[in-house]
Amino acid sequence: MLPVAGAIRQVRRRGRNQTMHCRQYSKRPESVSAWLAATWPCVNSDSATGDVSAKRVSRAPGEPSPHREPTEIRRTLARNLRQAREAAGLSQRALAKAAFYNRTLLMDIEDNAANTTLDTIARLAKALGLTEIDLLLPNMGTDTLKHVSLAPEEPPSETEPTELRRRFARNLRQVREAAGLPQRVLARAADLGLARVWHIEVNAPNVTLDTVTLLAKQLGCTEIDLLRPKDP
């Protein structure tokens, strides 16, 4: 009987110790998210609430996650695209056909300011007889709308990067080097990975507008600065 009584006392003692430990932990004043923010400053509060996409993205206090609402440049593209298409007297179906693009995706850009790629912007601008920057500038002038016209159908190249992609890669490298930032530092700030930043600068892949916005914000410039042709 004595061994059994000793085992019971040990179980009771362990239970009291676990209860005391739980009470001590419950008295901690900080929440998990506050502890994370204090321990890992590079991880913002969104990562503690499940928004993994915003992890390590530097934002001002109260600024929404860049993936929740359309960015300003996406709204600008949607507004300008609709105005240019209507100025040319084109339906969404006609423009999609001329740009070799899906009509449903075109509707998503115009109606919801959907995230899209540089190649898509180049296709749509070319089909309307405009430059890509014309579709991205905040205030599309009436003079620009007067020059809108349906360009001859020409399938885009599937192998060579567009001029817009090359320009973005070139401008990104120049702005980064002018700021004195190594690729590693920019990659960490934008949470894109070193290989990704290197790939963009060297191979000019087809990236999205959100990626352009993210890199521009980390470099302290605008998306237009990274996409506009430089003065000779």
Do 142 and 78 belong to one domain?
Answer: yes
Indicate whether 115 belongs to any domain.
yes
Indicate whether 192 belongs to any domain.
yes
Q: What is the CA 114 to chain-centroid distance, rounded?
A: 11
Indicate whether 199 belongs to any domain.
yes
Q: pLDDT digits over 183-221, tens only?
A: 999 999 999 999 999 999 999 999 999 999 999 999 999
CB within 8 A of 115, min separation 6: which ones? 70, 74, 208, 209, 210
Q: How many domains does the chain have?
A: 2
CA–CA gap between residue 49 and residue 57 (Å, rounded): 15
DSSP percent split of the chain into helix, strand, coil, nearest 5:
60, 0, 40
Across 109-123, 152-166, 172-186, least confident range: 152-166
Indicate whether 31 belongs to any domain.
no
Q: Which amino acid is at 34?
A: A
> Whole domain around residue 128: which residue ranges?
72-146
pTM strictly above 0.85: no
Indicate whether 142 belongs to any domain.
yes
Indicate whether 3 belongs to any domain.
no
Do 193 and 138 belong to one domain?
Answer: no
Indicate whether 212 belongs to any domain.
yes
Q: pLDDT digits over 144-161, tens only?
A: 655 565 555 566 666 789
CATH number at residue 207: 1.10.260.40
pLDDT of residue 7: 54
